[in-house]
Structure formats: structure tokens, C-alpha cells
A and B are shown apart, each in its own frame.
Chain A
Amino acid sequence: MAESFTRSEMLPPLPPPVTERGAIKWMRENLFSTPLNIALTVLGALVVYWLIAAALPWWLNSVWNASSLGECRQIVEANAGPGATGACWAMIRERWHQFLFGFYPPPEWWRPILAFGLLFAALAPVLFAGQKRNLTIVLGGVLVYLVVTLYLAGAPALPFALSLVLIVGMLALAQIQPGRLLWFTLLYPALCFWLLWGGSVWSPIVAMAGFAILYAVFRLASPLIGLAPAAGAGIVVAVVWWLYLDKTVVDLLQGVLPFGLQSINSDQFGGFLLAIVIGVTGITFSLPIGILLALGRQSDMLIVKSLSVGFIEFVRGVPLITLLFTASLLLQYFLPPGTNFDIILRVIILVTFFAAAYLAEVIRGGLAALPRGQYEAADALGLDYWRAQRLIILPQALKISIPAIVSTFIGLFKDTTLVAFVGLMDPLKGVTQIVRADINWKGIYWEPYIFVGVIFFVICFGMSRYSMYLERKLKTDHR
């Protein structure tokens, strides 16, 4: 019987050769594919080795408990032998509060801490509009943060309880009607201002009442005299309220119901508290101003257009430092004799204008990138200018320019360090200089700069990651 040598079943496949699989294949392809690549890899490995060799012992020898740089060095030499170097984080341990709060009085630290926590509670409804899950996560995080930090900062019982009740209430509201949370966002600026600077509780309430009056006048007058004149009348009444009646009403109410927080002077602000106050306020106000400037620059009206162009090009053409010096040296010439208002406020105004000019250019790019058909379609639908902008043009233009807008915001936040040059105590130059001028910490340089740099990095990197998330979320085209 003839044997059949025909194979009846498939052989199992052999594994690929050793050089063509797993880590070796990956390394061949990604690290050693060409002579140039090999050279680059070796060079890169040398750089990494050199960095680690220089920095690792320094990190490992860190000292957390010491009262001066000299003592730090003694401890390092005692532990790791003579000539060893080590990081002296004891400086951060002793001075962290100056980096965070400047000279803000310690018993009142709970106020900036509370304001910072509520900032996220106020931002969440804007950043995650209507997303119940994200809102709950953020508000829950704020709740935990507040419980821990307010306890550590020794906050008085009443504000402690009130803020917890507020956050729990917001959490409950987020489950039922997340859209309503925006009201807290609107009220937050006045609350934050009052928490940080203190003073009578009535001043933020009366200031906010100005907006309520504006709206009431607008609603009452618009059926009688039309929309635009009603808005004008509302603004006039509100300005009169703020300029002439505000102070009297506050004094009156304060006389009847005296309640307030200890006033804190602007020169006691410092460190990241200052940077975040200037940064957040600047970011909040520069966006609407930037949008208006961009629309002005795209406008057909010659005078509006040339004023916008002039403003944008002037502000973009000079360094921020000169504008800050304008705030500290020149505003006293431009304002009526005898007026003298807060330096932080002056700086915020100038920083806001600076960022607004850059944002205007960024948004103009977005406006220009929209196809003409969108403008024509809005006109064909019979929308008036503002409706067309609000419903059709701006949502698309802003979406296109999100990455650039966020990088402008990051730039603004980094630029808040420049306020050191007009005498404010920013974390980088102001506080670090004070620390380095102390006889105990003279000659320390890596540690403060690393500490400040890492905090800036975390905030700015977080912002850029959020913008990437937003870009993905809003992406509606199918490319």
C-alpha cells in the first residue's frame, strides 16, 4: 500500500526570528535603524546619563529639617560623606507660606484658600457645561479640598460651615438642574473680591446690585424706547449708582447691619495668591474685550476699525514691562489730580488690555478662517449683526482658535511674574529675592526656582491639556 507523503494538516507558524520581534525589533526600528540614528541614540543616552548622574544624588540627599543652608550642608555631609551635595527643601518647609500667600496675615489664610476652592466651583459650570458627571467630580473634589485645607488653616466655624453648606447645595443642584449653577459663576467675582480684600460685606452686594439695576432699567425701558437706547440708559443709571450712590448705601447698610471681614491691604498680597488673582481676573476680562476688538477690526465702519487696529498694534508693539510701568508711573498723570487707586487693580487693567490685544489677533485669525458662505448664510437668514455673530460666526470662529486662545492665556499667566518690577511681590522674583536675602538661606538657588517652576509648569501644562480635551470634544468634522 502506497504511503501518501502529502501533508494533511498545517504546520504551526514558526515565531519570527529573534531580531524581528519584541523589544529587539522595537529597538532596531526606533533606536538603531541608521548610523545617524545610532549616533543620536548614543548622544541622547549620554545626555540622560549625565543629567541623572548630576541630579540623582542631589535629590536623594534632600534635607527636609534644618533651619539654615549651612545646617543643611552639614547634615548632607554627615549623611553622605564630605563633598556630597544635596537639596535643601527645609527652606520650602520654612517659607512655603510666603511663596503661596506673600505677607497675607496667617489667621486669615483660610480666605484665599476658600476663594481658590470656590474658583473651581465657579469654573466648573463654564468648563463642563451641563455634564452632570464631570460637575459632580469637580464639586466633590472641591468639597474634599475645602474640608481638609480649611481645617488645616484653622478657619473659623461659621465660614467653614457656610462654605460646606454652599458646596453641598451646589452638588445637589448639579444633580437636578446643572444649568442653574451658572448663577454662582456670575456671583463669584464679587464674593472672591470680598473674601480676599475683606471689608464690609455690603460693598460687593451693593456693587452687584448695580448690575441688577442695569438689567431692571433695561427691561423696563426697552418696550418704551427700544433696545439700544434702553441699554444705554441702563448703563448710565448703573454708572451713576456705582460712582455716586454706592459708597453712601454701603455706609448706610453697614451702620444698620455691621458685618464684615478684616481688611487686607494690597501690599500684603504676594506669591502665587497674587499671580492667580491677576491671572484669573486678566483671563476673565480679556476674552470679551478681545472678541470686541477682533470684531471691531473686521468691521466695515472705518472709524471703529481704525481705532481697533491702532489699539491692537500699539499694545502688541510694546513690551508688557513698559505697560506695567505705565500703570505704576504714568496713570497718576492721566487721571484727575488726587485720584489714587489700588496698584493691583491698575496692574490687572493693563495686563487685561495687553492680553486682549493678543486675543483679538488670535480671534481675528479664527474669523478670517471661516468660509464666506457662513457670513452670507447668516445674512440670508435675515439675522441682524449681533445675532449672526452670536449664533453663527463666533461659535465657529472661537472653536477654531481655541488652541491659540489658551496659549495666550498661558502666556498671560506666565507674564504675571513681571509685576515684580512695579514693586509687587510675585512668587518668582519678589518672594525668592526675600528668601535669598535672608542670612539663613543666602546662596540657595536651585530649590526656590524648582519649587516655583514646578507650580507654574503644573498650572500651564494643565491649561494646555484642557485645551486639547476641549478641541477633541468640540470636533465635529469627519477628517
Chain B
Amino acid sequence: MTMATDAPKDGFRLSMLIYDTRYRSYTIQIVVLVLFALAVAWLLNNTVQNLAARGKEFNFGFLWQRAGYDIGQQLIPYNNDDNHFRALLVGLLNTLVVAFFGCIFATVLGVIVGVLRLSRNWLVSRLMTVYVEMFRNVPLLLWILLSYVILSETTPAPRDFRVTDEMVAAGQEPAASMMFFDSVAVTNRGTNIPAPLFERGLGTLDLGFMTLNLNFWAVVVVIAASVFVNRRILSHARATQESTGVRPVTWWKSILVLFAPVIVLLIAMGFHLEIPSLKGFNFQGGILVAHSFTALLIALTLYTAAFIAEIVRAGIQAISRGQSEAAFALGLRPNRTMSLIILPQALRVIIPPLISQYLNLTKNTSLGIAVSYLDLRGTLGGITLNQTGRELECMLLMMLIYLSISLMISAAMNMYNKSVQLKAR
């Protein structure tokens, strides 16, 4: 005869903390928490002792002291009389601008390479495979250093662009010439590109803590408004199509709305390009883009594009053949099959790893240290840190900023991912 044995009722024993699954997880968590608290306390105690031994204290007051160093590339006005916080902002913007352009270029190149690698053209797909494997298996630092060295050691000096009267008389060509209709000059000191200027500009607006370049913001606002109006036109067209079955012609409206306002604004403000030209020993006018920026951008783009190409390839291959066959059976043309059937599904596979590539690229901008690019790490974590001797504050602040950038990018991209993700019911 079998008897059901009840759980022992003789109350709580100490050993149940380890052997009873009802209590064990609490025991483990409390032990972990205590150990963690002890470790934190130990670290804090050490830090306090070390700071005291060095006669330092933990505060961020140094951010408001005069920085006293120059930064080559500045997107907002800065000179060496400004404080360290201003230098931090300049560095942060330098980080963001490389990351921004790097993400765009790497995506474009990566998508092209990824699609070409799947091409049935033997030669092209092999070339793309070589490119991808070459860039994926060699450290990014090598590409940064190599592009910087090539840019700064093989490009001609500004004097090589000089055309003298004797040379014209003798029919000689100068040793180097400018590119893109004589508007861009690559010299060993940097790349000279044309600068956008406004004859009747709106000037700047001083807000006290920062100054706004009104010309720039006017263009941005007009473009944003045009895009918004264009979206309204398209959604109206879609609504008309759904209710009547006839889609109104929109292409000329879109072109008009997208381009006319910007062109009118630019003409009204007297927009023209200032072309750099050789004066004396150097190029004057235009904008001088430092090689550290160009090299970092080129290397980050080429390196990340190789990874993005693999992601795109995997995404397209993940869509089963049946999908495109079904689309053809429905009578869709190949390009509409691509845009309506394949791409929306491939995007779901592509976007999550793409987000992490964007994050990697952003974090990799910190390798600008190799070519002395003054980004966030170069200003706050470099010169400011060395000048003020505040390692703890600078490093913590820098990590915090990088962490918030990463979290913001991944939050934004995750939101986008949610919008294209399959709606599971």
C-alpha cells in the first residue's frame, strides 16, 4: 500500500536555505548582494584613500577653467581662452560628425558590396569577397594608420600646384593639379574643399550659452518642412488610391516641393561656393579638412562596410526562394518584387545586426587617437586629462558620455526596428 508523504512540517531548518529550492534563490541573491556591496565599498574606500594620499578631491569644477589649447577642427566657435567644457563639446561634436558620415557612407558601400557579392557575375562577386575578407580579418587600426600615412606622405605639397609664367611659356604642366573642376585640392597639409558662403546671410543669433548659425538652421528647417509636405502629398495620394483605385500623379509635385523652396532660399541668401586657390605658399579660402579626419572616415567606412556587406548578404539569403517565386506568380515585376516582397522581409533580418555595427563604428571613432584626431577622447580624455591631472573625473565623464551615445543610438534604432518588425499576433 502506498502512502502519500506530505512535506515535512517540522518548521524551518537552517539547511533549507541551501537545499530547499523555495529559499535557495533568496540565499544566493543575498550572498551575491552582500559580496557586491562589499566589493563596491572596498573600491570606494580605496579610492577615497588614494585621493586623500594624492591631495586631490573629486569635483568637476575644473571643467570651467580655461582650457588653453587649440583644436584644429571645430564645428562650433572655440579658441584656447574658452573653458574645458567648451573643448569637451567641440570634441564631442567631432566624434559625432565622424560617426554620422561614417555610418552613412558605410551603409551605402556595404549595401552595394553585399548585393554585388550575391551577383551571378563571377568576377565581381570574387572581387567583393576579396574585399570583405581583407577588411574583416585585419585590425581597423592598420587601415586608419595606412590611410593617414598615404594621405600625408604621398600627396603633393602646395607648391607643386603652382603654375608660373615660365611654365606656361614652356608649355609645362604643374606637378599636381586640383580635382573636380579645380575645386578640391589634396595636399600634404590637408584637403581643401569649397566653402558655402552667403552674400545676404542671416548672420548669427547669440543665445548667451551658445551661438546659432542662422543660415545653416534656415536651410535645415526648410528641408525638414519640404520633406514633411512631401510626405503629406504622398499619403494623400495613397488615400486617394485606396478609395478610388486611381493613383494621382505626384512626381512633379514631389520634385517641386522638395527642391524649389531650398533653391529659392539659397538664391535669396546669395549662396555661392568659395573655391580654394593657391596664394603664396598655401591654399587660401575654402575649408581645410585635416587628414586625420579624412583618414579616420575612410578607414571606418571601408572597415565597417565589409561587415555591413556580410549582414546584407545574410539578410537577402535568409529570404526563401518561395517568396520571390510567389511574387512572380502574382505577376509582380522584378523591381517591385524586390521593393515590396524581398526587401521588407530582409530588413527584419538585417536591422538588428546593423544597429550593432553602427554602435561599433561610433565607439571605434575613439581610435582617432592613432592619428591625433581631437575627438571626445582627444579633448576630454586626452589634453584636458593631462593638463588638469583629473583622471578619475575625466574618465568617468567620458565613459558616461560614450555610454549615453550608445544607449541613445540603440534606443532609436530599436524603435525603428519595432516599426518594421513582424507584428506577431
Contact = CB atoms under 8 A, between A and B. Distances in A.
Contacts of B273: none
B146 A445 contact: yes
Interface stretch (B4-12, B45-53, B321-329, B414-422): B45-53
A318 B403 contact: yes
B53 A337 contact: yes
A330 B391 contact: yes
A304 B33 CA distance: 8
Interface of B: 18-19, 25, 28-29, 32-33, 36, 43, 46-47, 49-51, 53, 116, 119-124, 127, 133-134, 136-142, 145-146, 149-150, 153, 359, 363-364, 366-367, 369-370, 377, 381, 385, 391-392, 395, 398-399, 402-403, 406-407
Nearest to B396: A330
19 contacts: A30-B120, A31-B121, A37-B120, A43-B124, A48-B127, A304-B28, A307-B36, A318-B402, A319-B377, A321-B367, A322-B377, A325-B381, A325-B395, A326-B395, A329-B385, A335-B46, A336-B46, A420-B141, A428-B141
B204 to A, nearest CB: 34
Contact of B32 (A304, A322, A456): A304
Given A40-B124, A44-B127, A457 B395 contact: no
Nearest to A433: B145
A449 B53 contact: no
Most A C-beta atoms less than 10 A away, residue of B153, B366, B377 = B366
Interface of B is mostly: helix
B124 A333 contact: no
A211 B19 CA distance: 27
A303 B32 contact: yes
Nearest to A432: B145
A420 B363 CA distance: 17
Contacts of A303: 29, 32-33
A47 B127 contact: yes
B249 to A, nearest CB: 29
A300 B25 CA distance: 9
Contact of A460 (B138, B150, B369, B381): B138
Contact of A321 (B36, B377, B407): B377
A425 B77 CA distance: 38
B50 A31 contact: no
A286 interface: no
Interface residues of A, number: 60
A443 interface: yes
A265 B286 CA distance: 52
A418 to B, nearest CB: 7
Nearest to A334: B43
A41 B124 CA distance: 7
A228 interface: yes
Nearest to A453: B138
Nearest to A361: B356
A414 interface: yes
B369 to A, nearest CB: 6
Contacts of B25: 300-301
A316 interface: yes
A353 to B, nearest CB: 14
B143 to A, nearest CB: 9
Interface string A43-59: 11101100000000000
Given A300-B25, A303-B33, A445-B146, A333 B139 contact: no
Contacts of A173: none
B137 A44 contact: no
A319 B370 contact: no
B123 A44 contact: yes
B18 A228 contact: yes
Contact of A301 (B19, B28, B119): B28
Interface string A351-373: 00000000000000000000000
A428 B367 contact: no
A39 B119 CA distance: 13
Contacts of B137: 410, 456-457, 460-461, 464
A452 interface: yes
Interface in A329-346: 329-330, 332-337
B392 A317 contact: no
B24 to A, nearest CB: 9
Contacts of B381: 322, 325
Given A321-B377, A414-B138, A45 B123 contact: yes
Most A C-beta atoms less than 10 A away, residue of B36, B145, B407 = B145
Given A330-B392, A461-B133, 15 more contacts: A29-B120, A40-B119, A45-B123, A48-B123, A300-B25, A301-B28, A303-B29, A304-B32, A319-B363, A333-B392, A337-B49, A421-B370, A445-B153, A453-B142, A457-B134
A157 interface: no
Interface string A373-393: 000000000000000000000
A429 B369 CA distance: 11
Contact of A449 (B116, B124, B146, B359): B146
A140 B140 CA distance: 35
The 8 closest A-B pairs by CB, nearest first: A460-B137, A317-B406, A319-B363, A319-B366, A317-B403, A414-B139, A30-B122, A44-B123
Given A303-B29, A307-B36, A418 B141 contact: yes
Contacts of B120: 29-30, 33, 37
Contacts of B18: 226, 228-229
B370 A329 contact: no
A471 interface: no
Contacts of B366: 319, 321-322
A170 to B, nearest CB: 31
A461 B139 CA distance: 12
Nearest to B30: A303
A256 interface: no
A415 interface: yes
A302 interface: yes
Given A317-B407, A461-B133, A31 B377 contact: no
A314 B403 contact: yes
B32 A318 contact: no
Contacts of B403: 314, 317-318
B145 A449 contact: yes
B305 to A, nearest CB: 16
A278 to B, nearest CB: 13
A417 interface: yes
A316 B407 CA distance: 10
Interface string A438-453: 0000010100010011
Nearest to B402: A318
A29 B119 CA distance: 12
A322 B369 contact: no
A227 B51 CA distance: 43
Contact of B391 (A333, A336, A443): A333
B367 A30 contact: no
